[in-house]
């Protein structure tokens, strides 16, 4: 257990395709994913005591206080058993940088890569305000670019699609402001202090192109990692 495992941080503004990228990566490799927004949202949906403290911040599009985020992430790290740990949407502010390094130390993780996604504003807005999610199975759609076959219904499980509260336009605009104010300084910190492992990717390209570029670079950054495409069994297609 003495050997350090790699931690990878992915950052990017709202609509940079972070979550889609992370899901594709975890489908290819045995990766422990820490999707901060999702972990927080899960607490809110289950209406736990922690979730009731988190909710007002999410509704307002404001950053959730660091100590709440730390509690949620620490609990998830206890169960992490992948080849590396991937942090999505954390750290989001300078205050959270200290928490990240504390968590890394406690869980014997070494920072191997910091990926910063950049995206044009118009592209980002379309991606976010068009996004619909299935609360039952977690599938993600976009009414502009990846609509479900039947409007409002999940292709995979038939669940009723919904728009996340923080994907509405007025909240999105607030999230952009918060990203510039709080997260850009965090990006600057990694550029300055961890320049050797920090790199930027244009996220204006298709999700597949972005996935290929990031996979190749991650394989260089994380020892013994194999993210070559391994098509999953298509049991959803009729066989003849
Ligand atoms: Zn579904």
The domain ranges of the chain are 5-121+168-221
3-state secondary structure of 208: helix
Q: Which of 25-39, 149-163, 214-228 has the highest mean pLDDT?
A: 149-163
% of the chain beyond a pLDDT of 70: 94
User: Do 176 and 183 contact (CB within 8 A), yes or no?
Assistant: no
Q: What is the pLDDT of residues 111-167, one digit of tens each?
A: 999 999 999 888 888 888 999 999 999 999 999 889 999 999 999 999 999 998 878
**Does 28 score more than 90 pLDDT?**
no
pLDDT at position 45: 94
Which two structure tokens, joined as six digits, stand for 129?
A: 């305000």
Average pLDDT over residues 193-219: 93
Let me know: does 32 contact 84? Beta carbons within 8 Å: yes
CA 228–ligand 1 middle distance (angstroms): 27
Alpha helices in 107-226 (DSSP H): 121-129, 169-178, 184-193, 207-221
Within 13 Å and on the Cβ side, how many CA atoms surround 128? Answer: 24
In 36-191, the DSSP E strands lie at 84-88, 109-118, 131-133, 140-142
Question: Is residue 156 flagged as an active site residue?
Answer: no
Mean of per-residue pLDDT scores for the chain: 88
**Centre of ligand 1 from the C-alpha of residue 96, in Å:** 33
Q: Which residues contact 135 (CB under 8 A, 6 or more apart)?
A: 45, 159, 160, 162
Which tokens sit at 133? 């999610």
Predicted TM-score (pTM) of the model is 0.76
Choose, from 18, 55, 76, 127, the residue flagged as catalytic: 18
**CB distance 45 to 51 below 8 Å:** yes
pLDDT at 163: 94
Ligand 1 centroid to 152 CA: how many Å? 11
171's CB contacts (< 8 A; 6+ apart) are 60, 61, 165
Cα 110 to ligand 1 centre (Å):
35
In CATH, 5-121+168-221 is 1.10.3720.10 = no
109 in Cβ contact with 197 (< 8 Å): no
pLDDT in tens, 58-80: 888 787 888 899 999 998 898 88
Interatomic CA distance for residues 15 and 3, integer angstroms: 36
Average confidence (pLDDT) over 205-224: 90
Q: What is the pLDDT of residue 22?
A: 87
Q: Mean pLDDT throughout 74-98?
A: 88
Catalytic annotation on 217? no
């Amino acid at each position: 257990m003495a050997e350090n495992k790699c931690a990878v941080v992915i950052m990017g503004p709202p609509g940079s395709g972070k979550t889609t990228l992370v899901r594709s990566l975890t489908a290819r490799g045995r990766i422990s994913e820490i999707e901060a927004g999702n972990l927080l949202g899960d607490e809110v949906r289950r209406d736990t005591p922690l979730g009731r403290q988190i909710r007002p911040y999410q509704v307002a599009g404001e950053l959730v206080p660091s100590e709440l985020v730390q509690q949620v992430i620490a609990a998830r790290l206890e169960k992490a058993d992948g080849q590396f740990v991937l942090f999505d949407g954390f750290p989001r502010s300078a205050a959270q940088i200290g928490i990240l390094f504390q968590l890394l130390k406690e869980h014997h993780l070494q920072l191997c890569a910091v990926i910063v996604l950049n995206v044009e504003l118009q592209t980002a807005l379309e991606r976010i305000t068009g996004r619909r999610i299935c609360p039952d199975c977690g599938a993600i759609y976009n009414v502009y670019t990846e609509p479900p076959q039947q409007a409002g219904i999940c292709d995979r499980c038939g669940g009723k699609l919904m728009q996340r509260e923080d994907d509405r336009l007025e909240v999105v605009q607030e999230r952009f402001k918060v990203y510039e104010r709080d997260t850009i300084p965090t990006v600057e910190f990694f550029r300055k202090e961890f320049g050797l492992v920090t790199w930027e990717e244009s996220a204006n390209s298709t999700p597949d192109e972005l996935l290929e570029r990031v996979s190749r670079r991650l394989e260089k950054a994380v020892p013994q990692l194999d993210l070559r495409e391994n098509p999953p069994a298509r049991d959803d297609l009729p066989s003849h």
